[in-house]
Amino acid sequence: MRKITKLILALLLVAVLGTTAFAQSAPPAAGANLTIGLVMVGPYNDHGWSQANYDGAQYVVAKVPGTKLVYIDKANSADRPGTTVSQLGESLVAQGAKLVIFSSDDMSDEAVKFAQAHKDVFVIMTSGDQTWKDGKAYKDLPNMICIMGRMEYMKMVAGVAAAMTTQTGKIGFLGPLINDETRRLASSAYLGAKYAWVNYLKKDPAKLSFKVTWIGFWFNIPGVTSDPTQVADDFFNSGYDVVISGIDTTEAVTEAAKYAAQGKKVFAIPYDYAKAIDEGKGVSLGVPYFNWGPAYVTTVKAAMAGTWKSHWEWNAPDWKNINNPDTGAVGFNKGTLTKDASASVDKFIAELAKGLNLWKGPLALQDGSAYLKAGEAATDKQVWYLPQLLQGMEGQSVSK
């Protein structure tokens, strides 16, 4: 009995001493070899958000010599009950990871806990704003970098594709949970759709219906979230002939394919993952996707070279070629589009490249309150922290 007590005390002592606080500075250069740990919220092969991150990490391993990848997927409390995300991060550290990518908004609290607890480990918080000096959630975390792509552009493109395709004038948006990110992305899709509706199709904006339905999480958790399959079906059954997906997984496309097989003329736009259009040949209008590779490469290189500096990045597309895998952070793969629609999409992308800004006043929020005055362009902060959906959109802005 006494021996056991001593042993426990010794263990505790080791634990306390072994983790004494480091000074407030970035960890030292990782050197020529670096094991990267990737924590994904969904399955690594979800054909969506998690897979895009997985591919990004694989891109790093291919491009940066001396790097190795260890990963854990399904890092959510429904799939791995009893675990915490920081605990899962630590299990990657135990496998040698010196840089850990927490690749979901869902992990932000735990990622901060982890970064604070492991000051010797580089941390990338994907989609976060915790290291944005001007942001609302700023924390002094020298070992953390937050990375996000300017998906707003590609969601606008998706909106254009949807507007050019819809026959009923009703576009559905299959939303995940409600937060700043999802509000601004849903709104971007709406801005794109409205722009095409008014400027390309010359139709009355009041005749465009754009409805957002949220499921409650990034993907389906049976019994916890609304079922995205059900939500997509509801859209298609109530006259919405294009559904833009905002969730991590591909239910919208799968359901569109099912209805198309029954002879309905319906379409969907998946999200996140470049190859997600393959899910439903003939019903995918295209996919706005993330290309995490380039940004991850830059950051990993900085960690290895010792030039790591905590910052926040919100990376733009490469307007020269939005689908260049080695440059831009976001892209759009065109799918089944009519000639006309395809031309409009190309035209719209060219306009964006030339500096078209749809986040420009006059714009009002959903409840009618002023958002941007006429001619006023939104700042990054105004876009990132969009408080509500925009006027003209149906659906919840914040939870009731």
Partner 1 sequence: MSDSRALKPLFQGAAVVLALGLTTLVLLATKAPPLAAYVNIARGAVGTVSVALDVLVAWVPLLLVTSGLLVTFTVGLWNIGIEGQITFGAIFATWALRSFQGGAASGAIDPALAIALSVLAGMAGGALWAMLVGALKTFGGVNEIFGGLGLNYVATALNLWLIFGPWKRPGVASMSGTVPFDKALWLPTINEQSRFAPIAVVLALVAIAVVFALIQGTYFGLRLKAVGKNPKAAYLLGIPTWQYTMASFAICGILAGLAGAVQVTSVYHRLIPSISSGYGYMGLMVSMLVNFSAAVAAPVALFFAALNVGSIQLPITLKLDSSLAGVLQGTLVLFVILAEGARMRFMKKGGRKA
Helix residue ranges, H only, 95-150: 108-117
Residue range at the interface with partner 1 (CB under 8 A); choices 11-19, 162-170, 241-249, 340-348: 11-19
Q: Is residue 371 near partner 1 by the rule CB under 8 A?
A: no
Q: Is residue 177 near partner 1 by the rule CB under 8 A?
A: yes
Tokens of 289: 């996707």
Contact by Cβ (8 Å): 96, 35:
yes
Query: Residue 239: what residue type?
Result: G
In the complex with partner 1, the residue whose CB is nearer, 135 or 325, is 135
User: Minimal distance in Å, beta carbon 79 to partner 1?
Assistant: 9
Distance CA 174, CA 252 (A): 7
Distance CA 58, CA 64 (A): 10
User: Minimal distance in Å, beta carbon 215 to partner 1?
Assistant: 9
- Tell me how crowded residue 66 is: count the other CB atoms within 10 A of its CB: 13
Q: Which helix (H) or strand (E) holds 243?
A: strand 242-245
Number of alpha carbons in the 13 Å side-chain half-sphere of residue 186: 37
Count of residues engaged in binding partner 1, rule: CB under 8 A: 50
Build a one-symbol-per-residue string for 85-104: x at contacts with partner 1 by CB under 8 A, - elsewhere: -xxx-xxx-xx---------
Q: Which helix (H) or strand (E) holds 350?
A: helix 339-353
In the complex with partner 1, the residue whose CB is nearer, 72 or 157, is 72
Q: Is residue 184 near partner 1 by the rule CB under 8 A?
A: no
Q: How far is CA 177 from CA 25, 254, 396, in A?
A: 35, 20, 10
Build a one-symbol-per-residue string for 123-152: x at contacts with partner 1 by CB under 8 A, - elsewhere: ------------------------------
Distance CA 313, CA 329 (A): 11
Residue range at the interface with partner 1 (CB under 8 A); choices 60-68, 82-90, 248-256, 281-289: 82-90
Tokens of 329: 């952070």
Build a one-symbol-per-residue string for 201-220: x at contacts with partner 1 by CB under 8 A, - elsewhere: -------------x-xx---
Q: Select from 29, 61, 78, 201 the one that contacts partner 1 (CB under 8 A).
A: 78
Q: Is residue 247 near partner 1 by the rule CB under 8 A?
A: no
Q: Which residue has the tokens 């399955």?
A: 43
Q: Is residue 353 near partner 1 by the rule CB under 8 A?
A: no
Build a one-symbol-per-residue string for 381-400: x at contacts with partner 1 by CB under 8 A, - elsewhere: ------x--------x-xxx
Strand 170-175 and strand 209-214: pairing? Answer: parallel
Residues that bind partner 1 in the complex, under the rule CB under 8 A: 11-12, 14-16, 18-19, 21, 70-74, 77-78, 80-84, 86-88, 90-92, 94-95, 105-106, 109, 116-118, 177-180, 214, 216-217, 221, 223-225, 387, 396, 398-400
